[in-house]
Amino acid sequence: MPIVTPVTKMLGIRVPVIQGGMQWVGVPVLVAAVSEAGGLGVLTALTQPSPEALREAIRETCKLTSKPFGVNLTLLPSINPPDYAGYARAAVEEGVRIFETAGNNPGSLIKYFKDNGCIVIHKCTTIRHAKSAEKHGVDIMSIDGFECAGHPGEDDVGGLVLLARAAKELKVPFVASGGVADARGFAAALALGASGVNMGTRFMCTVESPIHQNIKDKIVASTERDTVHIFRTLHNTARVFKNKVSMEVVAIEKKGNAKFDDIKDLVSGARGRGVYDLGDPDYGIWTAGIAMGLINNIPTCKDLVETLERETTAIVGELAQTVGLKAKL
């Protein structure tokens, strides 16, 4: 039985599984593999050095799949911000009609995408921000619980509560993000009112993922205890893999009155990318969620999505049967 939700209908996909837009990871080979498998692959715009490079990445993805895929555009706190408008324009002109946005003050981007007939998925870590995004015309919310990799916000609220509140208070469909890596998490998200799931760390650990095999093996060998939060004292909390570099950052922050300049060399993007290129898990900061505790293999995207679809359907069926049996009793 297919899993049909408002998200599958809106996005034109078979399975309501979205691949998170991950820096250095959301590239054409992975994106196309996820979309071909029946989910929604998402290119990460800022992985590309320029809007023109994003155009080429979109064209490359189109050569690999005829299925729908999206583009992620995350607004980052920066003294010299990227050319967000240029990236957005390049993607729209190349025919992309599904966008995932994240970060603060996305109103102008959302308006541009909606004016051009696009579907917008927006990532939020609080219900109040989700309601604000609704007013801007967002079509689908991605509700990120405290379990998620990357930036979980500053409220430390887990997905169990966030998703239940979203089901009560949001008018648009939403997907669950953070801590989902298997069919039980998928089924739980549906039970909590979500119309699908967004998975990042799980897709990092697939055959088509562009990161070094050593890092995939490290994810498989790790548990839910192998992440740590940095930037807590800077009020820009990020969940990353627990390694020598991230623990050094935590130690500096614990001393008190830490400034970004004190840690900027440790957390540089170049070092983070080096982790994925060189295969050294201690080379720099890299993003990972506690879903690592549920990952014990490295499948193809096709096998992963099909397994999620099959096992989630079975779990939901078992629950329906259990409720039915109890009703008869």
Query: Do residues 100 and 207 share a domain?
Result: yes
Query: Do residues 166 and 266 share a domain?
Result: no
Whether pLDDT at 18 is above 90: yes
Query: Do residues 50 and 82 share a domain?
Result: yes
Tell me the average pLDDT across 147-159. Answer: 94
pLDDT tens-digit map of 307-326: 999 999 999 999 988 887 55
Query: What is the percent of the chain with per-residue pLDDT over 70, rounded to a whole number?
Result: 98
Looking at the domain assignment, is residue 152 inside a domain? yes
pLDDT of residue 78: 76
Confidence of residue 77 (pLDDT cuts 50, 70, 90): confident
pLDDT tens-digit map of 253-312: 999 999 999 999 999 999 999 999 999 999 999 999 999 999 999 999 999 999 999 999
pLDDT of residue 327: 57
Query: Do residues 276 and 322 share a domain?
Result: no
Query: Do residues 53 and 125 share a domain?
Result: yes
Confidence of residue 1 (pLDDT cuts 50, 70, 90): confident
Query: Do residues 81 and 160 share a domain?
Result: yes
Query: Do residues 190 and 43 share a domain?
Result: yes
Q: Which residue spans within the chain are E strands per DSSP? A: 17-19, 41-44, 69-75, 98-103, 119-124, 140-144, 174-177, 197-199, 227-230, 238-241
Query: Do residues 155 and 242 share a domain?
Result: no
Query: Domain of 266?
Result: 227-287
Separation of alpha carbons 7 and 111, rounded Å: 21
Separation of alpha carbons 261 and 283, rounded Å: 19
User: DSSP per residue over 254-272, as a string?
Assistant: HTSS--HHHHTTTT-HHHH
Confidence of residue 168 (pLDDT cuts 50, 70, 90): very high
Looking at the domain assignment, is residue 313 inside a domain? yes
Query: What is the percent of the chain with per-residue pLDDT over 90, rounded to a whole number?
Result: 93
Query: Do residues 62 and 194 share a domain?
Result: yes
pLDDT of residue 325: 59
Query: Do residues 122 and 251 share a domain?
Result: no
pLDDT of residue 328: 56
Confidence of residue 64 (pLDDT cuts 50, 70, 90): very high
Q: What angle do CA 286, 71, 216 make, to 5 degrees?
A: 30
Looking at the domain assignment, is residue 68 inside a domain? yes
Q: Average pLDDT over the chain, rounded to whole?
A: 96
In CATH, what number is assigned to the domain containing residue 197? 3.20.20.70
Whether pLDDT at 2 is above 90: no
Given a contact cutoff of 8 angstroms between Cβ atoms, the answer to whether 18 and 5 are in contact is: no
Separation of alpha carbons 45 and 81, rounded Å: 13
Looking at the domain assignment, is residue 216 inside a domain? no
Query: Do residues 113 and 39 share a domain?
Result: yes
Separation of alpha carbons 295 and 182, rounded Å: 8
Separation of alpha carbons 279 and 286, rounded Å: 11
Confidence of residue 124 (pLDDT cuts 50, 70, 90): very high
Looking at the domain assignment, is residue 85 inside a domain? yes
Looking at the domain assignment, is residue 218 inside a domain? no
Q: Total structural domains in the chain?
A: 2
Looking at the domain assignment, is residue 51 inside a domain? yes
pLDDT tens-digit map of 203-221: 999 999 999 999 999 999 9
Kind of pairing between the strands at 98-103 and 69-75: parallel
Separation of alpha carbons 26 and 271, rounded Å: 18
User: DSSP per residue over 53-64, as a string?
Assistant: HHHHHHHHHHHH
Q: Which two tokens stand for residue 185?
A: 């998490």
Query: Do residues 183 and 259 share a domain?
Result: no
Confidence of residue 80 (pLDDT cuts 50, 70, 90): confident
pLDDT of residue 49: 97
Looking at the domain assignment, is residue 140 inside a domain? yes
